[in-house]
Chains A and B, each alone.
Chain A
Amino acid sequence: QQQVKQSPQSLIVQKGGISIINCAYENTAFDYFPWYQQFPGKGPALLIAIRPDVSEKKEGRFTISFNKSAKQFSLHIMDSQPGDSATYFCAAGSSGTYKYIFGTGTRLKVLA
C-alpha cells in the first residue's frame, strides 16, 4: 500500500515533442503529489505538485494530470527541450505528515 510505481524507467524524446511520465499509487490516504527534477550530481528540485481536488495543474510547459478513481497521475512536458534532460521523480504523501513515498525515477533524454 505504500508503493508508488513510476513508468517508464527511461524515455527519449525529440526536441519539441511531448514527454509523458506516469505514476500510480495504492494508498487512498495520499492527498498531495509532487514532482521533482534532478540533474546528474545534484539534488532534486521541486517542480510542480497537485492535490486530488483538481484534475489538472499547469505551470509553463509542465502539466500534471490526475485521475483519482484510477489512482494515477502523470507529468506532461510540452515542447520538450534538451535542457529538460534529467531524471524525474514523482512522490505521494498525506498532508500533515512528513513521510513521502517516491517513485523510482524516469531518466528523460531530449534529443536536439
Chain B
Amino acid sequence: DGGITQSPKYLFRKEGQNVTLSCEQNLNHDAMYWYRQDPGQGLRLIYYSQIVNDFQKGDIAEGYSVSREKKESFPLTVTSAQKNPTAFYLCASSSTYGGQPQHFGDGTRLSIL
C-alpha cells in the first residue's frame, strides 16, 4: 500500500538539542511538505519541496531545517533555535504541480523534557 511513513510517533527533546523527524513516501510524489499543528490552530507550513535537492521556506521556517536528497525522503530537523517546539508535526505529499497536499502521514508528536 502506498503512503507516507513518519517516525518516530513520539519524540522528546532536551534543551539545546537538535532532533530529526523522519518522513518517507512510496507514492512517487514529487512534492513534499512539513506542517506544524498546534491545539486549536490550523496547519502551518514549515517547509516544502517540489523536487529533489530543492526546498522552500514556508510561513514558520525559523528554527527548522530540511533536506531532500532522495525523492522518497524529506526529513525535518528541529534545531535548538526553535524555542517552542512542542507540537504535532505532519509530513505530506502531492503528485500535482503547485497543488494542495494530498496525502499525510500520521504525524510525530514532539515534546520538551
Q: Which of B58, B94, B98 contacts A96 (CB 8 A)?
A: B98
Q: Is the CB of A98 within 8 A of B48?
A: yes
Known: A4-B42, A43-B107, A44-B43. 15 other contacts (CB 8 A): A32-B99, A42-B107, A43-B90, A43-B92, A46-B101, A89-B42, A91-B100, A98-B33, A98-B50, A99-B45, A99-B48, A100-B45, A100-B100, A104-B42, A105-B42
- Distance A34 CA – B43 CA, assembled complex (angstroms): 13
Closest to A34 in B: B100
> Which of the listed residues B44, B58, B91, B98 has the most CB atoms from chain A within 10 Å of its own CB?
B98
Q: Is the CB of B100 within 8 A of A43?
A: no
Interface members, chain A 26-74 (any B CB < 8 Å):
32, 34, 41-46, 49
A interface residues, Cβ below 8 angstroms from B: 4, 6, 9, 32, 34, 41-46, 49, 89, 91, 93, 95-105
Q: Chain B residues near A100: list those with CB within 8 A.
A: 45, 100-101
B interface residues, Cβ below 8 angstroms from A: 4, 6, 31, 33, 40-45, 48, 50, 56, 58-59, 90-92, 94, 97-107
Q: Chain B residues near A9: list those with CB within 8 A.
A: 40
CB distance from A44 to the nearest CB of B (A): 5
Q: Is the CB of B42 within 8 A of A43?
A: no
Q: Which of A6, A32, A43, A102 contacts B105 (CB 8 A)?
A: A43
Closest to A104 in B: B42
Q: Is the CB of A45 within 8 A of B104?
A: yes
Q: Is the CB of B100 within 8 A of A32?
A: yes
- Distance A90 CA – B102 CA, assembled complex (angstroms): 13
Closest to B98 in A: A96
Q: Chain A residues near B94: list those with CB within 8 A.
A: 98
- Distance A6 CA – B33 CA, assembled complex (angstroms): 23
Q: Is the CB of A103 within 8 A of B42?
A: yes
- Distance A1 CA – B33 CA, assembled complex (angstroms): 23
- Can you list the 6 inter-chain pairs with the closest CB atoms, starting with the nearest? A43-B104, A102-B42, A96-B98, A102-B43, A98-B48, A34-B100
Q: Chain B residues near A97: list those with CB within 8 A.
A: 98
With known contacts A49-B100, A97-B98, A41–B43 Cβ distance under 8 A: no
